[in-house]
């Protein structure tokens, strides 16, 4: 089976106060050394085939089309990336608009994922984002002109000052741009971020209000043709992220770069959070143990709206699923949290809101079964 390739690009112009992704301030010389280090890892692979390549960050567009093109060429040569491979570049609209977007397309990028977060100025400024709506409009227009039609925008839910009306404005902004994909993530206050330090001062929606915003977003996105296919992801005309779907299906992917994670030959692994260490020793990574077990399979697949097939689940479990498991499912279905249909189970949008606790509950039933 073809795997995916994830390349972490750990550079940003400035740190956003809520973000805990690993990144350092962009430096041109370091970016060139980093590119060489990534290519040396790519070239260490022989005989593995891939059909998706994802540049995540950080702010990957800061690398420029030439370096991105070199990494894509190396991946094509070593992983036999096919002509229809999905090649995604995460980008920040503020810096991307100062670049030649068509050069990224020529380098091989055919999918763009941009952090819009909100189309409302007050929300953007409370998130410490410096781009404008005009930057986003410009980048989407230029990307489409260059032939990149598969464009995703990120929206953030549960931010300071967000209301249903302001969220609707952001959703309508995305829909008017006619992008093919939208990711809508709930703001999480992560330790070791400036937001965490001043969390007591942040005026964030409480859990019930945040849940309402999520259900509102699901409904409004669906009304505009963005079909939910994962807990936080919505696509028009089947433009699902092929790369990210590999994660949720528990499929294997090669991870490369500082702070990147990967899953190969049944083993999960990660790289340390240091650009310097990665450049000095690009092939050294740390094992995170065996992956692909039953719990992981269940948790990851239940993120998808298609859920899991009960027969596949039983096969992974190694025995028929116990009656107590089915009784739990019936109760969750009666409560409108789970759908049971065509031999599969999946979450409703309401179920997604408490999916962690439902999954723990179901796993507990299975673990207690003798």
Q: State the residues that interact with ligand SF4 by CB under 6 A.
A: 12, 15-16, 19, 21, 23, 57-59, 92, 115
Per the document, the length of the chain is: 370
- Give 185 or 216: the residue with its C-beta nearer to ligand SF4: 185
- Give 17 or 250: the residue with its C-beta nearer to ligand SF4: 17
The CA distance from 236 to 300, in Å, is 22
**To which H or E segment does residue 205 belong?**
none
The CA distance from 215 to 355, in Å, is 14
The CB-of-90 to ligand SF4 minimum distance in angstroms stands at 8
The CB-of-344 to ligand SF4 minimum distance in angstroms stands at 35
The CB-of-187 to ligand SF4 minimum distance in angstroms stands at 11
- Give 12 or 68: the residue with its C-beta nearer to ligand SF4: 12
Neighbours of 333 (CB within 10 A): 16
The CA distance from 100 to 90, in Å, is 15
- Give 89 or 329: the residue with its C-beta nearer to ligand SF4: 89
Angle (deg, nearest 10), helices 355-368 and 323-334: 160
The CA distance from 370 to 368, in Å, is 6
The DSSP symbol for 304 reads B
Residue whose entry in the numeric block shows the structure tokens 């909100």? 118
Answer yes or no: are the C-beta atoms of 147 and 123 closer than 8 Å.
Answer: no
The DSSP symbol for 368 reads H
The CB-of-29 to ligand SF4 minimum distance in angstroms stands at 20
The CB-of-2 to ligand SF4 minimum distance in angstroms stands at 27
The CB-of-196 to ligand SF4 minimum distance in angstroms stands at 14
- Give 59 or 183: the residue with its C-beta nearer to ligand SF4: 59
- Give 109 or 259: the residue with its C-beta nearer to ligand SF4: 259
- Give 174 or 305: the residue with its C-beta nearer to ligand SF4: 174
Q: CA-CA distances (angstroms) from residue 341 to 68, 122, 329?
A: 44, 43, 12
The CA distance from 316 to 298, in Å, is 9
Q: Any residues with CB less than 8 A from the CB of 157 and at least 6 apart, and which?
A: 167, 184, 185, 186, 187, 210, 213, 214, 217
The CB-of-131 to ligand SF4 minimum distance in angstroms stands at 10
């Amino acid at each position: 089976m073809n795997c995916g390739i994830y390349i972490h690009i750990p550079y940003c112009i400035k740190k956003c106060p809520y973000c805990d992704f690993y990144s350092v301030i962009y430096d041109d010389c370091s970016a060139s050394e980093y590119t060489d280090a990534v290519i040396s890892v790519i070239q260490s692979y022989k005989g593995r085939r891939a059909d998706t390549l994802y540049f995540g960050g950080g702010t990957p567009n800061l690398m420029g089309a030439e370096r991105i093109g070199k990494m894509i060429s190396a991946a094509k040569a070593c992983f036999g990336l096919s002509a229809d491979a999905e090649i995604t570049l995460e980008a920040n609209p503020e810096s991307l608009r100062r670049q030649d977007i068509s050069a990224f397309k020529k380098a091989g990028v055919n999918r763009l994922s941009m952090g819009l977060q909100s189309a409302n100025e007050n929300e953007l400024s409370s998130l410490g984002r410096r781009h404008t709506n005009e930057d986003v409009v410009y980048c989407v227009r230029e990307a489409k002109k260059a032939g990149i039609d598969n464009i995703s925008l990120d929206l953030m839910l549960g931010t300071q000052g967000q209301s249903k009306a302001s969220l609707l404005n952001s959703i309508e902004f995305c829909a008017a741009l006619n992008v093919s994909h939208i990711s809508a993530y709930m703001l999480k206050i992560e330790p070791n971020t400036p937001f965490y330090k001043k969390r007591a001062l942040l005026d964030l929606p409480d859990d019930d209000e945040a849940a309402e915003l999520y259900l509102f977003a699901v409904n409004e996105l669906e009304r505009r043709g963005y079909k939910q296919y994962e807990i936080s992801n919505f696509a028009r005309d089947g433009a699902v992220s092929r790369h990210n779907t590999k994660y949720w299906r528990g499929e294997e992917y090669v991870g490369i770069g500082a702070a990147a994670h990967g899953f190969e030959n049944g083993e999960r692994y990660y790289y340390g959070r240091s650009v310097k260490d990665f450049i000095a020793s690009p092939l050294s990574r740390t094992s995170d143990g065996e992956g692909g077990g039953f719990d992981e399979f269940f948790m990851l697949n239940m993120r998808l709206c298609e859920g899991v097939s009960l027969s596949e689940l039983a096969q992974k479990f190694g025995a028929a699923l116990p009656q107590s498991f089915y009784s739990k499912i019936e109760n969750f279905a009666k409560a409108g949290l789970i759908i049971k249909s065509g031999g599969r189970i999946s979450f409703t949008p309401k179920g997604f809101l408490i999916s962690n606790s439902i999954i723990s509950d179901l796993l507990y039933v299975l673990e207690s079964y003798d």
